[in-house]
Chains A and B, each alone.
Chain A
Amino acid sequence: MRIDTRINGRDVVLEIEEGEFLARTLRRYGYLSVKEGCETGSCALCTVWLDNSPVLACATLSGRVSGHEITTIEAVAEEAGAFAEFMVAEGAEQCGFCSPGFTMTVLAMKRELKNPTDEEINHYLAGNLCRCSGYKGQLRAVRKFMGVK
């Protein structure tokens, strides 16, 4: 079936299969920053924005994004790049497979929280799993990126 939607600021028509989830659709259409790490909505590697709020693309039916706006990290390269500088300065990206989804959640958090505590940060990002880094480097990068005092 066909749906009309908006991805990264462009109106697009997507051909999707019934029951297909957004993570698959996006990857099929070449938005390769969207990673998948599980089948149970547990890892948040697939995080994209739906109308500017982070969602799990693996748990969002593609049929339901019709008429909505999707944003992947490709569209926020500048802001993502700014955060990436803090990440690499800490060495907090290891394999990097979790990083795009993590970054999308962090950028959304930055809009929502001002001067958050570590607890608030960890709560907001709790769903984003990372098996490599041990999370502490990510936390240091996030604190600096958010300008936490």
Chain B
Amino acid sequence: MMRHVGRKIPKIDGIALVKGAPAYTSDLDINNNALTVKLLRSPHASAEIVAIDKKQALAVPGVECILTYEDVPDTPFTLAGQSFPEPSPYDRRILDKWVRYVGDEVAIVAAVDEKTALEAIAKIQVTYNVLPPVLDPAEAIGNPVLVHRSQPHTNFDIGCVASKNIAAADTIGQGDVEAVLASCEVVVESRYRTQAQAHAMMETYRATTCFDVNNRLQVMSSTQIPFHVRRLLSRVLDIPRSRIKILKPRVGGGFGGKQTAAVEIFPAMVTVKTGKPARLVYTRNESFCCTTSRHAMELTVRLGSDRQGNIKAVDIYCLSDTGAYGEHAPTVFWVVGQKTMPLYAAAKAWRYHGHAVYTNKTPGGALRGYGATQGTFALESAINELAEKLAMDPAELRLHNLIREKECHGALCGSAPGHPARLESSSLAACIERGKELVGWQKNYPCRTSVDGTKRRGYGMAVTMQGSGIAGIDTGSVTLKLNEDGFFTLAHGASDMGQGSDTVLCQLAADVLEVELEQVVVTSFDLDTLPYDPGAYASSGAYVTGNAALRAALEMKEKMCLSAARLLEVAPDEVQYRDGRFLAAKGESLTLSELAGKLCSFAGKEQLVATGTFGGATSPPPFVAGFAEVEVDLMTGQCDVVDYVALVDCGTVLNKNLARIQVEGGIVMGIGLALYEDVRYSARGRLATGSFMEYKIPSRQDVGEIRVEFIESHEPTGPFGAKSIGEVVCNTPAPAIVQAIYNATGYRCRQLPATAEKILLAPGPGGQKQV
């Protein structure tokens, strides 16, 4: 019987967090007299460091150390938090003689306080040999200007050719796409551009390091990937992993940003060099300019169908801008294909191909959606264009061609050559039908003129899929311990950054163990005590770590029954467990707390611990159908999303509140991407959107109605039938809103974001000409 799963359970740490309890890195690292670490950064997009004079800077009283590339290990690595062997190229060093974007690190300064560190930074004199940068991804391949002058190490072939500025390349597909397209009655070909987007999590990047009482390097970090951070530091600093202790406090938002180990290495280096505690807290400006952002992409989509709307071929070429370093370059690029190609399984010919290229800009990285967001914008925009060309309802076109339950597709995560993975669960078709009802699609689509003469309303829709963990690679574990009066400790390493994994994992375990939620306490802070988990990314928490929790709880139940049988002196199969009580066939019984008590005193002598481990053979996709209603002011170009309706299939909804907030938050992030969020650069490659003044994220006044409904499917491989929710939710707004703008104004935005300026200046029926 499910008692907790599916309910609206508050997050176990929610009240304390709202009331401001100290819980985050900067709240817990306060008493260790840490040195303040600041970084000197390159003012040039591309340059060679000819000389660094740190004499004057070192003379500033209170400066502890200044480290340049000559003082630190020369080991190449990637900051991407991925399971080993990481697909991302090892193309960076702690500090390098070459700087590759404005903001690249030149020197690490540690001082007694911030003021002193900044004063020292101002006094370091660097002589640069300034080089021309390559900034436009379209001009990167084959450009004589190289971002990396030597070929970086890759753990396996990812198509990296540094001498051509190519970080990664690939082609996947099935059938002869060109031939099929040539034979199609209707073909749509369009090129789309998605911009770089900033994570803008509220807590900036930060880490604090010291040597602990056992002389281990202790790293407290706001990270989604504590285990990967430990592996990375160990390799780069050449310290055994056993000598590194990682602490992960509460994380003030991540969205994939903290799946890249942006900061830990710098204070760690200082601590290793000086033996002293060190603390690095990124400014908001550094968080914008010197970490990562969503890969900007140019995507060329070709769709072919017959006149009845049977899609025959899908082809997407992707040019991904990975900036100066290839963090997540191959994987984000792959995910574009994995999360678009399977959607329209009716197309028997399909191909996804392209390149991720280096440019002298802030690196691309992991951001919620991880390529699926970009791919969805392109594919779904093209589907909307195809529907128009066919004079078909875009909802019908989709329903006609969508992948259905039990269908296989070779691009689904978990497929092997000749063995396409199978889609086990989907309610996407029902999601579309219900969405149509909720927005009055039949009556309203494509547009209706609004209240006054200059405002027009339009409707648009899009669908999307994501995954649940990375099939065949990432493996999570959960350990349960039975404590002496019958409560359980649940230890896991899936980093809760607000999504609520601590709570959801407890719900899962409590249901299997048939106890109240309060009887399961969670620990996820100190890596020494946690079983392995890759971390919070790839939408893996509910599915991968959730399955591990389920297994741990089942094993715990089995072990408890065995112990109970022994203590009741009956055969194991004569014991039944129900609601915290062990019943023997003959009528004797034992409560859970009695059992726990006996196991730690004279009679029992047994500490019960159970660990469950799970790695998915597939990555079951959750789905969303999103419907946008926009109101565009033709005089100003201002576009308001007055209503957004999201129908979500995440399998069984484990926690209704937490799932709903994930959806709402993801949609709002998607609205920002659709309408105004845009990481911009100056002509010389300086990031021009380094604060919340220049980089606008949605405020509460920008958000109209959002309606969310769940249509549950049952994923047979998921815990209680669940799939993921965290990422899929930010993919539909951009294509749906852009389509709604088109239907309101006649302006089709193929280059995000669809700003008021673009809408206003667009030629055609929606542009100013018409008003």
Residues of A within 8 A of B (CB): 17, 27, 30, 32-35, 37-40, 42-43, 45, 72-74, 77, 80-81, 83-85, 87-100, 103, 122-123, 125-139
Other-chain residue from B22, B201, B657, B663 in contact with A95 (beta carbon distance below 8 A): B201
Q: Which residues of B contact A42 (CB under 8 A)?
A: 691-693
Which residue on A lies nearest to B22, using beta carbons? A32
The 0/1 profile, CB within 8 Å of A marked 1, for residues 1-18 of chain B is 000000010110111011
Q: How far is the CA of A30 from the CA of B14 in the complex (A)?
A: 21
Residue contact A93 to B201, C-beta cutoff 8 Å = no
Q: Which residues of A contact B665 (CB under 8 A)?
A: 94, 131-134
Q: How far is the CA of A38 from the CA of B254 in the complex (A)?
A: 16
Residue contact B283 to A39, C-beta cutoff 8 Å = yes
Q: Which residues of B contact A83 (CB under 8 A)?
A: 18
Given A91-B658, A94-B499, A131:B14 Cβ within 8 A: no
Which residue on B lies nearest to A91, using beta carbons? B657
* Binding-face segment, B562-570, B608-616, B666-674: B666-674
Residue contact B661 to A133, C-beta cutoff 8 Å = yes
| Cβ of B645 to closest chain A Cβ, rounded Å | 13
Residue contact A125 to B700, C-beta cutoff 8 Å = yes
| Cβ of B62 to closest chain A Cβ, rounded Å | 14
Q: Is B500 among interface residues, defined by CB-CB distance under 8 A? A: yes
| Cβ of B504 to closest chain A Cβ, rounded Å | 11
Residue contact A99 to B18, C-beta cutoff 8 Å = yes
Q: Is B482 among interface residues, defined by CB-CB distance under 8 A? A: no
| Cβ of B150 to closest chain A Cβ, rounded Å | 37
Q: How far is the CA of A138 from the CA of B701 in the complex (A)?
A: 13
Other-chain residue from B14, B23, B255, B700 in contact with A122 (beta carbon distance below 8 A): B700
16 contacts between A and B (CB under 8 A): A33-B20, A35-B24, A37-B202, A39-B283, A84-B18, A84-B19, A92-B661, A96-B252, A97-B201, A97-B252, A99-B17, A127-B699, A130-B700, A131-B199, A132-B665, A136-B703
Q: Which residues of B contact A126 (CB under 8 A)?
A: 699-701
Q: How far is the CA of A124 from the CA of B669 in the complex (A)?
A: 22
Residue contact A136 to B706, C-beta cutoff 8 Å = yes
Q: Is B655 among interface residues, defined by CB-CB distance under 8 A? A: yes
Q: Is B497 among interface residues, defined by CB-CB distance under 8 A? A: yes
Q: Which 10 A-B pairs have the closest CB atoms?
A: A33-B20, A96-B17, A95-B498, A91-B657, A97-B252, A134-B664, A100-B20, A94-B498, A42-B692, A88-B14
Q: Which residues of B contact A37 (CB under 8 A)?
A: 202-204, 284
Residue contact B699 to A39, C-beta cutoff 8 Å = no
The majority secondary structure among interface residues of chain A is loop
Chain B 486-514 residues near chain A, CB threshold 8 A: 497-500
Residue contact B666 to A35, C-beta cutoff 8 Å = no
Residue contact A32 to B252, C-beta cutoff 8 Å = no
Residue contact B661 to A73, C-beta cutoff 8 Å = no
Residue contact B497 to A95, C-beta cutoff 8 Å = yes
Residues of B within 8 A of A (CB): 8, 10-11, 13-15, 17-24, 26-27, 30, 115, 199-204, 250-255, 283-285, 497-500, 655, 657-658, 660-661, 663-669, 691-693, 697-701, 703, 706
Q: How far is the CA of A27 from the CA of B27 in the complex (A)?
A: 9
Residue contact A80 to B20, C-beta cutoff 8 Å = yes
Q: How far is the CA of A45 from the CA of B17 in the complex (A)?
A: 13
Which residue on A lies nearest to B657, using beta carbons? A91
| Cβ of A26 to closest chain B Cβ, rounded Å | 11
Q: How far is the CA of A29 from the CA of B99 in the complex (A)?
A: 39
Q: How far is the CA of A77 from the CA of B26 in the complex (A)?
A: 21
Given contacts A89-B8, A136-B703, 10 further A-B contacts (CB under 8 A): A32-B22, A40-B693, A84-B14, A88-B10, A91-B10, A91-B660, A97-B202, A97-B498, A131-B697, A135-B668
Q: How far is the CA of A99 from the CA of B15 in the complex (A)?
A: 10
Other-chain residue from B115, B255, B664 in contact with A133 (beta carbon distance below 8 A): B664
| Cβ of B374 to closest chain A Cβ, rounded Å | 20
Other-chain residue from B13, B664, B692 in contact with A137 (beta carbon distance below 8 A): B664
Residue contact B202 to A93, C-beta cutoff 8 Å = no
| Cβ of B266 to closest chain A Cβ, rounded Å | 20
| Cβ of A73 to closest chain B Cβ, rounded Å | 4
Given A96-B23, A122-B701, A84:B15 Cβ within 8 A: yes
Residue contact A99 to B255, C-beta cutoff 8 Å = no
Q: How far is the CA of A32 from the CA of B498 in the complex (A)?
A: 19
Residue contact A100 to B19, C-beta cutoff 8 Å = yes
Q: How far is the CA of A83 from the CA of B700 in the complex (A)?
A: 19
| Cβ of B723 to closest chain A Cβ, rounded Å | 19
Which residue on A lies nearest to B660, using beta carbons? A91
Q: Which residues of B contact A98 (CB under 8 A)?
A: 202
| Cβ of B289 to closest chain A Cβ, rounded Å | 12
| Cβ of A56 to closest chain B Cβ, rounded Å | 13
Q: How far is the CA of A30 from the CA of B253 in the complex (A)?
A: 22
Q: Which residues of A contact B10 (CB under 8 A)?
A: 88-89, 91
Q: How far is the CA of A83 from the CA of B18 in the complex (A)?
A: 9
| Cβ of B411 to closest chain A Cβ, rounded Å | 30
Q: Which residues of B contact A27 (CB under 8 A)?
A: 26
Q: Which residues of B contact A134 (CB under 8 A)?
A: 661, 663-669, 703, 706
Residue contact B11 to A93, C-beta cutoff 8 Å = yes
Residue contact A80 to B18, C-beta cutoff 8 Å = yes
Q: How far is the CA of A137 from the CA of B349 in the complex (A)?
A: 43
Q: Which residues of A contact B692 (CB under 8 A)?
A: 38, 40, 42-43, 129
Q: Which residues of A contact B255 (CB under 8 A)?
A: 131
Residue contact B250 to A91, C-beta cutoff 8 Å = no
Q: How far is the CA of A57 from the CA of B27 in the complex (A)?
A: 17
Q: Which residues of A contact B697 (CB under 8 A)?
A: 129, 131
Residue contact A40 to B661, C-beta cutoff 8 Å = no
Residue contact A81 to B700, C-beta cutoff 8 Å = no
Q: Which residues of A contact B285 (CB under 8 A)?
A: 39
Q: Which residues of A contact B11 (CB under 8 A)?
A: 88, 91, 93
Other-chain residue from B24, B655, B700 in contact with A135 (beta carbon distance below 8 A): B700
| Cβ of B197 to closest chain A Cβ, rounded Å | 12
Other-chain residue from B20, B660, B706 in contact with A74 (beta carbon distance below 8 A): B20
Q: Which residues of B contact A94 (CB under 8 A)?
A: 253, 498-500, 661, 665
| Cβ of B701 to closest chain A Cβ, rounded Å | 5
